[in-house]
Every structure is written in C-alpha cells, then in structure tokens.
Amino acid sequence: MNKQREKFYKIITYGCQMNERDSEKIAGMLENIGYNKTENLDDADIIFFNTCTVRKKAEQKVFGKVGSLKKLKEKNEDIIIGVGGCMMQIEETAEKLYQKLPHVDLILGTHNLHRLPVLVKKIARNRDRIIEIWDQQEGLIPDVPSRRSGDYKAWVSIIRGCNNFCSYCIVPYVRGREKSRPDEEIIQEIKELAGQGVKEVTLLGQNVNSYGHDLDQNINFSQLLKKIDKMTDLKRIRFMTSHPRDFSVDLIKTIKNSDSICEHLHLPLQAGSTPILKKMNRGYTAEQYRSIITSIRDEIPQAAITTDIIVGFPGEKEKHFQETLNLVQDIKFDMAFTFSYSRREGTPAADMKQQVPEDVKDRRLQELMKVQNEISLYKNQELVGKEVSVLVEGPSKNNPDKYSGRTRTRKQVIVPADENLAGKIVRAKIQKANSWTLYGELSSTQQDVYSSTG
Ligand code: SAH
Ligand code: SF4
Ligand code: F3S
C-alpha cells in the first residue's frame, strides 16, 4: 500500500456522553470512506470538532481552538476542518463561526450527522464551503457505522432529545424533542455488543426515565431494563441521566431485583431550595427529592448516588444557597458535578431579573465544591477494608504498572497486577481512598460474583 496516500482523521469532542456517542459514529463514518484515526493534529486530513453549548465557556473555547487551526490550514489547504455538535444548532452561532473563521470548510448540525460522508466527499472534490443544519430529525435516524471507543464498555443511546425545558437549559433547543428508539433495535445492538466481548453497557438519554412514552407499543424505562436484563447476557447495565420528576418506585425495585443493573444513580438535584427549583421548572420540591433518596437507600443501601448542581441561578439568595449546602450535607452524594449558572440566550432564565454577580457565583461554587469533596472522601473511605467487584478497563494512566477499573457503583479503583486484567471482572479489597479514587489489591478468592458493597 502506498503510505503517502493514507488519510487520517482527528475528532475533538466536548460535552456529554451523547456527544461522545455521536463522535463514535463520526469516526465510524469517516473510517468507512477511507480515513484512519490519528491523535496528532499535524497528521490529520480531516479535523472535526463535536461541540457543546450547555455553558457559554464551552463556546468561547471552541472559537479559540478552531481559530488556532488557521496556521495549519495555511500550510496545507487540503485539510478539511469541520465543526458540528450542539453549538452549531444555534443559527447565529453557526453563522458567526462561518463568517469569522473562513478556514472552516464544513458546519454540520446534530440532526443530519449521517450526511457527513457525502459532504466530506463533496468538499474534497470541489473545495466548497458547506453549512448544513437541519431543524429536526427528518424521518427515521439512519443506521450509521460506529467506531466504538472502548472494548469492554459501550454506550447505547435509548432516547434522544429532551421535553423538559428546565428554564436555564439550552439542550431542548439544540437536541429537539424526545424520541425513543424501539426496544428491539436497542436489544439487537446490545446483543451484538455482548457478542463482541462488551461486558458493560450504559444506556444514554437526557432523561432515560421518560423512555417509551412516544412509542406505539406500551413500554416504559423499567420494562426496557427488565427486557435487556433478561434477553442479553451482559454483566453490567448502567444508565444516565435520570430525572427526579419521572423517578419511579418500580425503577428502584427493578434495580434491586437484577444482578446486572448496577447500583448507581445519577440523579441531578440542580438546587436544594424549593423556590429556586420552581423557577428552574424542575417539577419537584427539595422534600420530594429527599424522599426519593430515602426510598433508594431503604431498598438498595449500597447504591451510589451522584448528582449535578448549579449555583447562582437568577434570584438565588444566600439563604437559598445555604439550603443547597444543607441538603448536600444531609444526603451525602458520592460525587457531584457542580456548575456556575451560565446565561444561555433564548432560555427563560436568561431574561429573569436578579442575575447573580460572577464573583458571588464563584464564591458559592468554591464553597460547594469544598463541602462535596469532603463528603466524597468520607464516602470513599467507608469502603476501605471492604471487597468490591471491579471491571478492569486497562493499565492505569498515572500508574502504568497498575490497572484501573470501576466498581458497580462507578468508582474508580487502581489495583496492581502481574497479568493483563483488561476486560476482566475481579474482586479487590480496598486499602486506601481519596475523594476521587480507590486503591486496592486483588483478593485471594477470585470469582465472578457480584459485590454488595461496590
Ligand atoms: N439531562 C440531564 C443533564 C443535561 S446537561 C439532566 O436533566 O440532568 C448537564 C448539566 O449541566 C445539567 O444537569 C446542569 O446541572 C448543567 N447545566 C445545564 N444548563 C446549564 C446552565 N445554563 N448553566 C450552568 N449549568 C448548566
Ligand atoms: Fe436540560 Fe432539563 Fe432537559 Fe436535562 S432535563 S437536558 S437539564 S432541559
Ligand atoms: Fe452539551 Fe449537547 Fe450534551 S449541549 S451537554 S453536548 S446534549
């Protein structure tokens, strides 16, 4: 083969797991038309940015990063530079990027991702600049090839879009309305993955709990989970994200009664004050949230619960913030993603009065993070001396002589080992913990059993 004719692609992904999953499809489509993966920008014939727009900062980062490729393009005008993802679903932003950065060849929306190969070929042939964005999905989502990023873990999208319209959030505007995938299609995909050696699947959606309401057949999220549990021989099933408003007792029972559904719930709180939750249009009160947590812990005491919290939402006073801190201290999440409220034009909260000054938001964020880090440390240290089951992913990045994996509760564990453990489920005894990582050693009795502690 003539080495010089080999072509390479590089994808840069921002944002959530939905975007990670889309990037696997982008990679699959590019490989199908003859490109190979590279990590090196200088080797790439196509550089594609899969963007996020959930916070303003993400946007500024992309303009900076794409802008800096101008020099690369001046050196080699054959490079194709593409920008897609949620940020490009906002017409003014896509237009601004197109005008300001003339070295960008392709702007692609999220609903027409499958058009990528055709458009790339067109650009390579004619050197046109193309901007193609659809307002919504037209008809069925075409099946496109994927280049999965992991060998033992995979993401499977079960529902796209969001109908919730939380008042701060731009996702429903850029990802469109909820659209569930038929269950047979999901089960088929999972069976194929299991056949390829995948041990763990994470079912993805902005709000997995509302799965099925838009399908003709009568199926809800718990029923889908039960079906997957029964019809596939996966070792681990995960899902995210759950919305507290649609959370059901049935779901708790389903997790409890299954060996493969992992005991981890990502249940975004957003705020611990009921009036703020109301202004956020979240559809639950702080008390209702508390009672969901109590039900989960009553039924599944070993469950890990993680969350997302926003500080500095318009109108958030010190007393409201204090309520969030109190709730966080009471509930003791295993981990929390914490954000400073970012004003997104076009969302109702952007026009609300009493926007909170940046320095106040920063201070609250620091305070919250400090409290949560201590709680995460406490929760992890509770596991010291206990045995957990770990799906090993591969050598640890920071400790190359050790292996890194995750517990059923999704906590990272580092273990030393002489043999290659990648893809294996092992038992480990935890010896040490910090806020983010557990350190253990392999237990002497190795069996593929499920741990009740991790
Ligand atoms: N669908 C998920 C998460 C979507 S975005 C859910 O409903 O929970 C991920 C997180 O980003 C959100 O949970 C929220 O905490 C945060 N987020 C969304 N919009 C934001 C904004 N305008 N400013 C700051 N954080 C935001
Ligand atoms: Fe955004 Fe709310 Fe939908 Fe989550 S549920 S994506 S926070 S609108
Ligand atoms: Fe960002 Fe789009 Fe996900 S806005 S958080 S990448 S759905």
pLDDT tens digits, residue range 403-422? 999 999 999 999 998 888 99
- What's the whole-model pTM score? 0.94
- Assess whether the C-beta atom of 171 lies below 6 angstroms from ligand 3: yes
162 lines ligand 2 (CB under 6 A): yes
Interval 111-131: pLDDT, tens: 999 999 999 999 999 888 999
Question: What ligand is nearest to the CA atom of residue 268?
Answer: 1
Model pLDDT for residues 37-69, shown as the tens digit of each residue? 999 999 999 999 999 999 999 888 999 999 999
Residue 211 has pLDDT above 80, yes or no: yes
The residues near 76 (Cβ < 8 Å, ≥ 6 apart) are none
CATH topology of domain 387-442: OB fold (Dihydrolipoamide Acetyltransferase, E2P) (2.40.50)
Give 141's pLDDT tier (boundaries 50, 70, 90).
low
**Which residues, 6+ apart, have CB-to-CB distance to 280 below 8 Å?**
166, 167, 168, 270, 271, 310, 313, 349
Q: Please give the mean pLDDT across all residues of the chain.
A: 93
Q: Is the pLDDT of residue 136 over 80?
A: no
Report pLDDT for 197.
Answer: 92
Fold of 153-381: pyruvate-formate lyase- activating enzyme (3.80.30)
For ligand 3, say whether the CB of 113 is within 6 Å of any of its atoms: no
Are domains 7-132 and 153-381 of this chain identical in fold?
no
The CATH-assigned architecture of domain 7-132 is: 3-Layer(aba) Sandwich (3.40)
pLDDT for 135:
84
Q: What is the position in ligand 1's atom list of the atom closest to the CA of 343?
A: 22
Q: Are 242 and 267 in contact (CB under 8 A)?
A: yes
Delimit the domains of the chain by residue range: 7-132, 153-381, 387-442
- What is the side-by-side order of every strand in the sheet holding 7-13? 35-37, 7-13, 46-51, 80-85, 106-108, 130-132
For residue 453, what pLDDT is reported? 47
More confident residue, 232 or 35: 35
207 lines ligand 2 (CB under 6 A): yes
What region, left, alpha or beta, does residue 97 occupy, with left being phi > 0 and alpha being psi -120 to 50 degrees?
alpha
Residues in the chain, how many?
Answer: 454
86, 155, 266: which to mutate for ligand 3, most atoms within 8 A of CB? 86
In ligand 3, which atom is closest to the CA atom of 53? Answer: 4
Dihedral of CA atoms 113, 118, 119, 122 in degrees, nearest 10, equals 180
Index of the ligand 3 atom closest to the CA of residue 87 = 4
Q: Pocket residues for ligand 1 (CB within 6 Å)?
A: 54-55, 168-169, 171, 206-207, 241, 243, 268, 270, 308, 310, 339, 341-342, 344
User: Ligand 2 test: best mutation among 55, 175, 206, 207, most atoms within 8 Å of CB?
Assistant: 206
Give how far Cα 333 sits from Cα of 209, 225, 243, 307, 327, Å.
Answer: 20, 24, 16, 7, 10
